[in-house]
Amino acid sequence: MSMYQSVKEKGYKKLEVWKKAHQFVILVYRYTKSFPGNEEYGLTSQLRRAALSVSANIVEGQVNTSKKEFLNFLNMANRSLVETEYLLEVAFELEYLTKDKYDELDALRYETGILLNGLSRSVRIKL
């Protein structure tokens, strides 16, 4: 095992919820590349920021020592995830996303939500 691999598997990168959230944000960035140019500062930016906020809040919360603080970050991640749900619906209805791409993103968003809720429940129990 290389040094990079051992570092890679520490901290937040061990969390299944972060792995799913990370996959989600990468896919959001890939699929929003094809959005119309006039959406660069609108829907494209908003969707990217909301998706990125999910994984970023998991990362930031994980490094805190307080379970209560971690739970606050997980709650922020969940709010951002719910925001992406709506933004994906808008993008689909505007035909910026194909049905296949929308379904793929929505399934990944849903899986992330299940894992996020499970982790939040676990942290809440330990409070």
- Cβ atoms of residues 69 and 61 within 8 Å: yes
Specify if 7 maps to a domain: no
pLDDT of residue 3: 40
The phi, psi pair for 125, rounded to 5°, reads -65, -35
Specify if 1 maps to a domain: no
Domain boundaries, position 119: 16-125
Number of structural domains the chain divides into: 1
Specify if 10 maps to a domain: no
pLDDT of residue 63: 87
pLDDT of residue 6: 45
Mean pLDDT, consecutive 10-residue stretches, the chain (127 aa), reads: 47 94 98 97 98 97 87 97 98 98 98 97 90
Specify if 74 maps to a domain: yes
We report the CATH number of the domain holding residue 49 as 1.20.1440.60
Q: Which pTM value belongs to this model?
A: 0.89
pLDDT of residue 52: 98
What the block records as the tokens of 69 is: 């603080």
